[in-house]
């Protein structure tokens, strides 16, 4: 005879919702350049600040920036902040192993990129000030994706991860005001 | 001159990992009916309802304040929804207070909640894509930067967690009640987001918090002690901009300065009797002590280590057990505001600070970019 079952009080149901967002002209341009292997930003004429990805305006002055303000920045940079992630599992999560997630200030940019994965270095040696360089995906693997405001997802669709470049560490004072 | 505003009553649910004994509506009514009873009021006495919760994808129900109108006694009354990420419980109470201080309404019910068990918060935060890290992954780099800048010892975080978890044992409504903890056990718990261990992190909770706010006439007519709202402030800044200091955000510093000025506080460290502050990860205690002008830059950890923030210390912080012990996200900010009001009303029971007459409630959210605060007192001015 079957044992008496506990009453069902909760069921798991995975829902999905597909939606379309319109990419901006500057977002499309940033993505196209990434697919060519170049990282671009906009340099505000008013503040001199370089935004990567370009936003079409300067956050600090509110003034517009256009294709005329486009500059190319390096694919080398410096780690300004980081953590080591133990991935939380949820529907859609593909990460299972610990990894380093960092903010990276690219040479020539005024604020750091988020969500950069650092590899080829032991966890305990990752530090603010570490110089890193991009490891690009092969051209055929680079994909168009959403350009979010931090640029992390667009970057990671074309750059696999970041590795130590072997250059000497940056002076901490040089990045003290550029964590973001 | 603006109308005076006071907290006439407050209520909260028993918070747990899963409240499968109630629906969302039932959970809200549990908190609201406690608040109404405390305020000696009935649903019909309420002029308007102000609700708040964290982003709707957390439970997958969009604009739930609409279908909950009937359950909240709001039919035919103004029903306002507030959205400010994790700080929402605080800013919801601030919006409700403005409906009183502006003279628009006499009695307002304000309520906030999260039923995390009916959804998946990390999924919601990640937009359903892989690579989501939860709030801990976003804040961990700031905590690490703080630790490096300040030279604070590693066990500062363990000490905060130990204190808040001990305080929670005195709070009948708290979710996590972990008795006989030690600093060693906290250190041995898994590292989730370096440098943060599991036992230094907030849980996921189901729960709601509610307050009844009234004008001076309603407050004077009430037979119980009330908490007078002495100042309210909200501030926000972009989550990312060149030169931003995410460890000690300017918006938080400005918000605190404004709310102290309104409350006539010149030396918050001396004038405040206690603080209930949004600390979802242990290192945020010393960070917010500094951001709230309660300690000099890079010295907040010393207050923690010297026991100043203990329940029997000179400036108790998170008497309720805090967000580390109870985290129904949308309600987490309001629980801070509610606890501050309970302290100055003298109704905080086992976690009461003796003689508390002036308290700060604090909430933050987003990428440490949205802030909401109030100062409440046992006297109107």
pLDDT tens profile B296-336: 999 999 999 999 999 999 999 999 999 999 999 999 999 99
Partner B contacted by A119 (CB < 8 A): no
Which whole number is the average pLDDT over B27-35?
98
First to last CA, chain B: 14
10 Å Cβ neighbour count for A98? 12
Confidence of residue B272 (pLDDT cuts 50, 70, 90): very high
Reading phi first (left if > 0) and then psi (alpha if -120 to 50, else beta), residue B178 is in beta
At residue A150, the pLDDT reads 65
Indicate if the alpha-carbon torsion angle B202, B88, B269, B255 is positive or negative. Answer: positive
Chain A residues 150-169 within an 8 A CB cutoff of chain B: 150, 153, 156
Q: How many C-alpha atoms does A39 have within 13 Å on its Cβ side? A: 27
Say how far apart CA B107 and CA A31 lie, in whole Å.
53
Q: What's the length of chain B?
A: 381
Which whole number is the average pLDDT over B31-36?
98
% chain A with pLDDT above 90: 66
pLDDT at B250 over 80: yes
Which whole number is the average pLDDT over B334-344?
98
Partner A contacted by B133 (CB < 8 A): yes
Neighbour-count burial of A77, counting CB atoms closer than 10 A to its CB (0-12 exposed, 13-18 middle, 19+ buried): buried
10 Å Cβ neighbour count for B238? 14
| CB distance A179 to B141 below 8 Å | yes
CA-wise closest residue to B231 among B107, B342, B90, B50: B90
Supply the ipTM of this predicted assembly: 0.91
Segment among B52-61, B109-118, B153-162, B369-378 with least mean pLDDT: B52-61
Q: Which residues of chain A does B145 touch, with a Cβ-Cβ cutoff of 8 Å?
A: 81, 128, 179
Q: Which residues of chain B does A128 touch, with a Cβ-Cβ cutoff of 8 Å?
A: 145, 148
Please say whether the structural domain B5-121+203-221 has been given the CATH code 3.40.630.40: no
Question: How far is A139 from chain B, CA to nearest CA, in Å?
Answer: 22
What single string gives the DSSP state of each residue in B83-102?
Answer: --GGGHHHHHHHHHHHHHHT
At residue B124, the pLDDT reads 81
B270 Cβ contact partners less than 8 Å away, ≥ 6 residues apart:
none
Over chain B, what is the mean pLDDT?
96
Q: Which residues of chain A does B142 touch, with a Cβ-Cβ cutoff of 8 Å?
A: 81, 179
Partner A contacted by B140 (CB < 8 A): yes
pLDDT at A83 over 90: yes
Which whole number is the average pLDDT over B230-238?
97
Neighbour-count burial of B327, counting CB atoms closer than 10 A to its CB (0-12 exposed, 13-18 middle, 19+ buried): buried
**B188 phi and psi, to 5 degrees?**
-80, -15
Say how far apart CA B351 and CA B330 lie, in whole Å.
23
First to last CA, chain A: 64
Confidence of residue A1 (pLDDT cuts 50, 70, 90): low
% chain B with pLDDT above 90: 93
pLDDT at B1 over 70: no
Kindly list the domain boundaries of chain A, sorted by start residue. 25-168
pLDDT tens profile B169-193: 999 999 999 999 999 999 999 999 9
10 Å Cβ neighbour count for A178? 19
At residue A110, the pLDDT reads 94
Q: Which residues of chain A does B242 touch, with a Cβ-Cβ cutoff of 8 Å?
A: 49, 51, 59-60, 110-111, 178, 180
């Amino acid at each position: 005879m079957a044992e008496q079952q506990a009453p069902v009080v909760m069921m798991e149901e995975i829902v999905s919702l597909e939606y379309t967002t319109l990419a901006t002209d500057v977002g499309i341009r940033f993505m196209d350049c990434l697919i060519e292997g170049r990282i671009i930003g906009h340099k505000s004429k008013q503040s001199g600040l370089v935004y990567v990805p370009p936003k079409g305006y300067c956050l600090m002055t509110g003034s517009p920036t256009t294709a005329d303000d486009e500059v190319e920045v390096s694919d080398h940079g410096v780690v300004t902040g980081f953590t080591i992630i133990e991935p939380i599992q949820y529907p859609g999560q593909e990460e299972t192993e610990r990894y380093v997630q960092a903010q990276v200030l690219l040479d020539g940019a005024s604020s750091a990129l988020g969500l950069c994965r650092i590899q080829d270095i032991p966890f305990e040696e990752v530090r603010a000030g570490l110089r890193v360089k991009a490891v690009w995906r092969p051209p055929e693997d680079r994909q168009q994706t959403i350009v979010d405001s931090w640029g992390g997802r667009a970057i990671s669709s074309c750059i696999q991860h970041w590795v130590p470049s072997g250059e000497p560490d940056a002076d901490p004072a040089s990045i003290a005001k550029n964590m973001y | 001159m603006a109308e005076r505003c006071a907290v006439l009553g407050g209520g909260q649910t028993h918070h747990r990992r899963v409240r499968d004994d109630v629906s969302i509506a039932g959970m809200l009514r549990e908190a609201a009916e406690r608040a109404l009873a405390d305020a000696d009021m009935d649903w019909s006495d309420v002029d308007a309802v102000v609700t708040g919760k964290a982003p709707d994808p957390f439970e997958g129900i969009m604009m739930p304040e609409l279908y909950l109108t009937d359950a909240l006694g709001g039919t035919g009354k103004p029903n306002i929804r507030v959205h400010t990420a994790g700080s929402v419980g605080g800013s919801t109470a601030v919006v409700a207070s403005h409906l009183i201080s502006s003279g628009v309404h006499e009695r307002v019910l304000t309520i906030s909640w999260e039923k995390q068990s009916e959804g998946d918060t990390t999924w919601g935060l990640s937009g359903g894509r892989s690579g989501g890290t939860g709030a801990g992954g976003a804040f961990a780099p700031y905590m690490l930067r703080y630790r490096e800048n300040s030279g604070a010892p590693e066990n500062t975080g363990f000490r905060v967690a130990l204190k808040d978890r001990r305080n929670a044992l005195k709070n009948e409504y708290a979710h996590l009640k972990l008795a006989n903890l030690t600093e060693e056990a906290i250190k041995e718990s898994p590292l989730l987001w370096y440098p943060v261990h599991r036992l230094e992190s907030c849980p996921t909770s189901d729960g709601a918090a509610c307050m009844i706010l009234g004008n001076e006439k309603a407050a004077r007519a009430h037979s119980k002690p009330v908490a007078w709202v002495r100042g309210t402030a909200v501030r926000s800044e972009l989550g990312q901009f060149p030169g931003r200091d995410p460890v000690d955000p300017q918006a938080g510093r400005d918000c605190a300065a404004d709310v102290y000025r309104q409350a006539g506080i010149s030396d918050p460290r001396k004038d405040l009797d206690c603080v209930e502050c949004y600390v979802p990860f242990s290192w945020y205690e010393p960070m917010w002590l500094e951001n709230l002008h309660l300690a000099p830059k890079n010295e907040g950890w010393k207050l923690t280590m010297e026991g100043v923030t203990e329940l029997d210390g000179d400036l108790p912080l998170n008497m309720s057990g805090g967000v580390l012990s109870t985290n129904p996200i949308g309600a987490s900010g309001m629980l801070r505001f509610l606890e501050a009001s309970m302290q100055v009303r003298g109704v905080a029971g086992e976690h009461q600070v003796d003689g508390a007459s002036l308290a700060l409630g604090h909430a933050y959210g987003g990428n440490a970019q949205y802030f909401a605060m109030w100062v409440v007192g046992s006297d109107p001015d």
